[in-house]
Chains A and B, each alone.
Chain A
Amino acid sequence: MVDRALTRVLFGLILLTSGLSASAAPAVDDKPLIDFMDNFVYTLTQPVYVWKWFRGDEAKGLTDKISPDNALGFAKLQKATAEYWPSYVVKKESNSGYASYDSEKPFGPALYAAIDPVATSGPDLQLSSSYSYNYSGDTKKTDPSAPWALMQIQMPVGLRFVDLNRDGGDSLPLHIQEILAAYNCPTAWNDVADGLTNLLSANAMSISYYRYSSSGQSKSMTSECIAEMRKILKDTLNIQAIFFQGDSVEFKECRLHKRDGSEYPDDNYNLPPTGGNNPNRHGRFLILDSTPFAAKDVRLYNAQTTEDKDQRLRLQSFFYKADFDAKSIYYKSYLDGVVKEKYPNYKLQYASRSCQSDYSTSPATTKCALQLNMYSDSNGSMQGTAPLPPVPTEVKVISHDQLPQSQRNNFKDLLWSDLDGQAVDSQLGDWIVKNLFGCPAEVEYDSAY
């Protein structure tokens, strides 16, 4: 089978080099390519929830009171997803060659959704589970008083998706590279690393000017290549969503050991986790296709929404739980406070944990502290130390006066004022286990093959 395919590839290459029109479809058997990519298509086996925030300009038209079942939500999902495949072409602009790469929409226009409601509620969150924070670079700020709207989407059983987080770094077999070469695909795709990401994010390739390979070789997207990718991804494999790398909150119910039964003894609350980061929880979904969805799958909320109190309580409770579970959110605030108090002229660049063990005791004892790397424009670099953060306190009551750290920089107040004084949803952990991507004990997707 492979021999025959290779013969066809070579035959195709000969045809191409002998003057075949660049716009004609290459005479190459692409079945091995389809079969290969088919390995990496998954379907949801249970529904999971995702969220999309609208802030500032995006929230225009969403400032009046909204009922959660307002048809506007489903219409917005349909409109956003409808933009994806029409954009799946080589994009040239008259003056600058190719359209520029948009980091806000790394895979082109479609609906980008987070796998929890906290992760994308604002840019000023540190969701990493480690003690290593990098404060360099500009942080885009959200105006806390800017209007907001929140779309909650239930992704249905059967939704077909690819998981770049899981599979995107896979290398492409040689015979697949040869087929891609016959379709005039960018040579950068022949990189060993990230081969599958390159394949599955062809749209991103088409909107960037160049993607560089590790060897420095580059080639822009071609119409033959992107037509072939579109045919495979849309028409043959029917990809409806892409899961790709992004931040999410590490709720304790979703740690890897909850899912695969392994043990991570250090998983407590005043030590950084030594294991158990769940790869399924490090990403976002790009929804490309609205056909698997029904109107009831989409709920829309804003600050004026009064219905759905249980669900709104749950959404607000997510922020309190994120403070407690996702230690980094809490730690960032703690570190900012330490630097402000002890080193007021410096900005924190990086913090890392440093430990020393004393083996003269039995058992050996280990003491840890944080090492702070700071910078000031006038004084340059400096190092300092801080004690490990104290164990966070679990907040039990929703309150104007005690906004969660994860919410404080991006919202001026509670999401809904009528929740003030209500108990934080004590059942949220159970709900998370059943409804968040990457959290159920039984993996919530299967091979689509």
Chain B
Amino acid sequence: MIRLTSALMLAGALLTGAASFADDSAKPDDQIAADYLAQYVYELTTPMFVFHWFSAEGRNSIWKTAQSYKSEAGYDHLASMSVHYWASLCSKNAALNPSDCPSVGTEQFGQGNMYGPGLYAALDPVATMDYGGGSNGQTWILLKIRLPVGFRFINLKRDGTNAMPLRVQKVLSAYQCPTHWIDVRSGLDGLMRANNTYMYNSAGYSSESDVHLTDTCLLELRHLLKDHLKINGLLYGYSATSFLECGGYSTNQADLSGTAWVIADSSPFTYDDVQVFSSNTPDGDEERIRIQSMFYTAQRAQDASYGQTPQGFQDRKYPQFPNYTVSRVSSGCDLDAISQKRKCGVVLTLQNSGSGEDVTVVEPYPSMTGKMSDQRLPQWFANYNRGQALWPDLLNNDIDPKLTDWMKANLVSCQDAAPVRAARKMD
């Protein structure tokens, strides 16, 4: 093993200034890096829904026409966006590229994406609605995407700041990767920002430190992520709605809450996995009611975060605590001292009228009820979609009474147990 390390260092030393390796036999062995990183690849065990907004402005006119929510245009958009992820990790020098890179140079796909091009998707439809352009009066499009079982990903929120082991750093250094990306402080997150268009300009120079990303490093990262790890996407820390029905952010070992996704590969998806909505969508009433209902419940979450207490619990009685009365009502979570499990919902503090002793009871947060109306729209909707609901034709329908069940079954941020497992090794 010492000989291997020496060989890597020698290879790295020989490479100074070189754009790439003379041939494959000269490439340092990257299996050490691949084996280490593979331990942090996950796959979904349950399908989960995520949401992607974009504006129809400047795009194909199809997006401004009425089309079914089952239109294949949704899948096609996902496929056309996600393919950019791997393309952006190709060299501008086509001669250096593997055969699955675009034939003409490296494409550029917009600016401002921290983890490079790809299809970015939020854990709920509320968190990223501004990306639809509705605030500017633009025609918004919303994709509802089902991430399939087996979807492979890395979780930068959970594992992104891990220090790379020294021997993994050495492999990446031998591939001329900038040390500040792989140092103790940036780890995996540093790697995954390799093709970001936020901090790095089109020439591959960082605006912060003038570090140049070599083709050798770029192509090795692509090889590691695409060929060794075979990831379909990644997860990174981002804001998401803290639905009260979900007990706030769940905490579990997989640390999936408070994140957003970058989908880098359309191959795990089918046409059925992507639904497409706009203000012109004529069908899919059940789906549209569910989506619109999430906005009403999101407002309730915001109210709670500003200290508004749940109503209707102050006079609640508990036969098992006959001499206790409700002394405090709040939204939140409580750790059960016996089961050591965290329960979230409406937290009631009961006080014994004689001894003054306190008991805590946690009730599930009640589902939101009533009709959908413009008056009940969230305050922040006033500037969106011209102040109207996403779909005015749905007004006066009931807020989805089964929304809580649906969210608990289908949203990553609503899970009690993580819907993931360590990924199977694929090579």
Give residues in A with beta carbon < 8 Å to B.
1-3, 6, 36, 39-40, 42, 166-167, 169-171, 173-178, 187, 190, 192, 214-219, 260, 262, 279, 445-447, 449
Contacts and interface: CB of A to CB of B under 8 A. Distances in A.
Contacts of B183: 260
22 contacts: A2-B422, A6-B421, A36-B39, A39-B36, A39-B167, A167-B165, A169-B161, A170-B159, A170-B162, A170-B163, A171-B255, A173-B159, A173-B422, A174-B253, A174-B254, A175-B422, A214-B251, A260-B179, A279-B185, A447-B165, A447-B166, A449-B167
Nearest to B166: A447
Interface string B318-357: 0000000000000000010000111000000000000000
B340 A174 contact: no
Nearest to B251: A215
Contacts of A2: 422-425
Contact of A42 (B1, B166, B342): B166
Contacts of B193: none
Contacts of B253: 174, 177, 190, 192
Contacts of A447: 5, 165-167, 170
A187 B341 CA distance: 12
A3 B340 CA distance: 30
B40 interface: yes
Interface string B50-82: 000000000000000000000000000000000
Q: Is the interface of B mostly helix, strand, loop or mixed?
A: loop
A441 B141 CA distance: 55
Nearest to B160: A171
Contacts of A174: 42, 253-254, 420-422
Nearest to B209: A262
A170 B168 CA distance: 14
Interface in B138-182: 158-159, 161-163, 165-168, 170, 179-180
Interface of B: 1, 5, 36, 39-40, 42, 158-159, 161-163, 165-168, 170, 179-180, 183-185, 251, 253-255, 335, 340-342, 420-425
Contact of A449 (B1, B40, B423): B1
B210 to A, nearest CB: 10
Given A171-B162, A214-B251, A447-B170, 14 more contacts: A2-B424, A6-B422, A39-B165, A40-B165, A166-B184, A171-B255, A174-B254, A174-B420, A174-B421, A178-B422, A192-B253, A217-B341, A279-B184, A449-B1
A446 B5 contact: yes
A216 B342 contact: yes
A148 to B, nearest CB: 35
Contact of B425 (A3, A166, A219, A445): A3
B158 A192 contact: yes
Nearest to B32: A449
A260 B181 CA distance: 13
Nearest to B342: A215
Contacts of A40: 165
Contacts of B166: 42, 445-447
B162 A169 contact: yes
Contacts of B420: 174
B335 A217 contact: yes
Contacts of A445: 166
B255 A192 contact: yes
Given A447-B167, A449-B167, A171 B158 contact: yes
A447 B9 CA distance: 13
Nearest to A36: B39
Contacts of A173: 39-40, 159, 422
Contacts of B342: 215-217
Contact of B39 (A3, A175, A219, A279): A175
